[in-house]
Amino acid sequence: MLRNLKKAIDLMEVRMEGRLDIEELAKAAYMSPFHFQRMFHMLTGMTVAEYARKRKLTLAAQELAAASAKVVDVALKYGYDSPEAFAKAFRKIHGIAPSEARAPGSRLKAFPRISFHLSLKGDKDMDYRIEEKDAFEIAGVSLRTTCEDGQNLREISAFWGQSHADGTVEKLEKLTEDGITLGVCLHQNPPSSEFDYMIACIADDEAKAKEQGFEIRSVPAATWAIFTIIGPMPGAIQEGFNRIFSEWFPATGYEHAGGPEFELYTPSDASADDYRSEIWIPILKK
């Protein structure tokens, strides 16, 4: 997996001039655009777009400082539609205008090319189990979002807040005997950076769920890696995903199966230190 991500980084450097094609980068990493962007963010803490922007502006600053290139030419070279947009982005990173980069003694920031290294930390156990499960139906409400520029991180958080406020989560909890709700990432076919995120429950009674206006979706049969998460939300679940993608996948003989993945939430106090939740990831043996 890390070797495949390195191939994508190599291609990104070659394609740094102009606009980057997420689908081309994902193909180089042998992943869907969704999983490539998600894996990249989990491992680096930044989106592909953020990384590319910092690298472009690093290279642009080097060119402006070392040569007599025109600002407008450098802006167009690195994919900016106008000198004004380029100048705004440049000042945000470097703290000065592009034209000031040529001045002797100008201080510029350099964002180096990223590299991936496997680190087996071993400071915390990861409790998980492997289960096979037949296909099942879920009921809930959905949001279409995208991984591009971290848009999903902002929109999903707001979606949960809205669904708690308008009573949707409470209605879903009452549709099941155990009160368990799910946060489900439903990937698109063909794969893209867009996906549907559902706040849902297991559809034990599809007719009742439909009467209340909920969507019904199918989750296909799969082999699941199920991780037990202990701690308050949302921090514990976010840390869990980070560890799964940055530590567990690189260190095991499994890869993501490409299907839906979901978070499982129990109806107790989600702010408690001992709150228990789960992350379900569909997997394949390499």
The band of 118, judged by pLDDT with boundaries at 50, 70 and 90, is low
Q: SS3 for 155? A: helix
Span 42-52, mean pLDDT?
Answer: 83
DSSP state of 233: T
Arithmetic mean of pLDDT, 94-116: 82
Q: Return the domain boundaries, the chain.
A: 2-102, 128-285
Smallest CA-to-CA distance from 196 within 151, 143, 264, 260 is with 143
93 close to 109: Cβ distance less than 8 angstroms: yes
What size, in residues, is the chain?
286
Helices marked H in the chain — which ranges?
2-14, 22-28, 33-44, 48-66, 71-77, 83-94, 151-165, 168-174, 206-211, 235-243, 249-251
Q: Which residue's structure tokens are 């450097």?
A: 13
Residue 184 near residue 198, CB atoms below 8 Å = yes
Query: Which residues are bridge partners to 229 per DSSP?
Result: 277
For residues 262 and 273, the answer to whether their CB atoms sit within 8 Å is: no
Q: Is the pLDDT of residue 73 over 80?
A: yes
pLDDT at 161: 93
Within 10 angstroms of residue 178's Cβ, the number of other Cβ atoms is 11
Dihedral angle computed from the Cα positions of residues 43, 47, 50 and 53, in that order, rounded to the nearest 10 degrees: 90
Joined together, the tokens standing for residue 144 give 């279409």
Count of CB atoms situated within 10 Å of the CB of 133: 14
128-179 per-position pLDDT tens digit: 899 999 999 999 999 999 877 778 878 998 999 999 999 999 999 999 989 9
User: Taking the domain 128-285, which CATH number applies?
Assistant: 3.20.80.10
Within 8 A by CB and 6+ apart from 126, the residues are 227, 243, 244, 247, 248
Beta-bridge partner residues of 262: 184, 280
- Statement: residue 271 has pLDDT above 60: yes
pLDDT in tens, 192-239: 668 899 999 999 899 999 999 999 999 999 999 999 999 999 889 988
Apex CA 253: angle with CA 252 and CA 255, to 5°? Answer: 95
pLDDT at 189 over 60: no
CA pair distance 149, 280, nearest whole angstrom: 25
CB 181 within 8 A of CB 201: yes
Reported confidence tier of residue 245, pLDDT bands at 50, 70, 90: confident
- Which residue is it, tokens 């989750």? 219
CA R_g for the chain: 22
User: What CATH number belongs to 2-102?
Assistant: 1.10.10.60
Backbone φ and ψ for 103, nearest 5 degrees, come out as: -65, 135
Q: How far apart are CA 248 and CA 254, in angstroms?
A: 9
Q: What is residue 265's predicted lDDT score, i.e. its pLDDT?
A: 95
Q: What is the pLDDT of residue 252?
A: 79
Report CA dihedral (26, 250, 258, 129) to the nearest 10 degrees.
Answer: -170
Amino acid at 119: S
